[in-house]
């Protein structure tokens, strides 16, 4: 059986990043005792994004803290570019794909993959099956390890610290902007 778990992306319009982190942590903690194992993780990225700065950059870095990407676990992470069918200019898409691959190069060197989703059922199934059929043990995320095995509180995990750092950076930026306006 394959079960897909869809979570809101960080920077969701209706749910805060910290609430999303709590949702993911709660799900991981509740499924671990049942023996539910992750076969892999898919990270969806719109190829139509103009740049990989700001939100996509922060989201990808937080994702790495949350899910890992090193050792054997890195082979179980697939970054999937989406919205190829919405592009008016395929050259733009190819350029953005190259930028995204360059941005992810350290993670890819640790085993992660970058794949295209062409908005077909067959392509979606193939991406999922390729991930599920990879040899090696089930994926244990750093967050899962910290919460379940090390019995840490969520706020003491690497993912929570990364989110806190992002909030501090954003707060400092807003303070500077307000000071400049005044």
Q: Which domains does the chain have, with CATH numbers?
A: 17-181 (3.40.50)
Give the CA dihedral 70, 106, 171, 8, nearest 10 degrees: -60
SS3 180: helix
> Residues 6 or more apart from 140 whose CB is under 8 A from it?
37, 38, 73, 149
Tell which residue, 86, 73, 148, 145, has the closest CA to residue 118: 86
pLDDT recorded at residue 82: 94
Task: For residue 45, list its beta bridge partners.
Answer: 81
- ∠ CA 43-45-47, nearest 5°, is 155
pLDDT digits (tens, 9 = 90+) for 105-156: 888 888 888 999 999 999 999 999 888 887 666 777 888 888 888 898 988 9
Say what the pTM is: 0.75
Which pLDDT tens digits describe the chain residue by residue (182 residues)? 677 888 877 777 888 888 888 888 888 888 877 777 777 888 888 898 776 655 556 666 777 777 765 555 567 888 999 999 999 998 999 999 998 888 888 888 888 889 999 999 999 999 998 888 876 667 778 888 888 888 989 889 888 888 888 788 888 888 989 988 98
């Amino acid at each position: 059986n394959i079960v897909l778990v869809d979570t809101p992306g960080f920077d969701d319009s209706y749910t805060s990043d910290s609430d999303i982190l709590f949702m993911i942590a709660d799900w991981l903690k509740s499924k671990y005792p049942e023996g539910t194992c992750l076969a892999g993780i898919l990270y969806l990225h719109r190829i139509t994004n103009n740049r990989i700065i700001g939100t996509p950059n922060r989201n990808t870095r937080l994702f790495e803290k949350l899910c890992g990407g090193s050792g054997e676990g890195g082979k179980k992470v697939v970054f999937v570019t989406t919205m190829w069918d919405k592009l008016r200019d395929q050259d733009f898409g190819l350029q953005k794909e190259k930028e995204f691959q360059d941005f992810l190069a350290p993670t890819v060197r640790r085993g992660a993959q970058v794949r295209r989703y062409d908005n077909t059922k067959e392509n979606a199934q193939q991406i999922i099956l390729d991930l599920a059929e990879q040899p090696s043990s089930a994926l244990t995320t750093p967050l899962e390890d910290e919460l379940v095995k090390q019995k840490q509180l969520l706020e003491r995990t690497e993912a929570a610290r990364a989110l806190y750092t992002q909030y501090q950076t954003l707060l400092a930026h807003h303070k500077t902007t307000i000071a400049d306006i005044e």
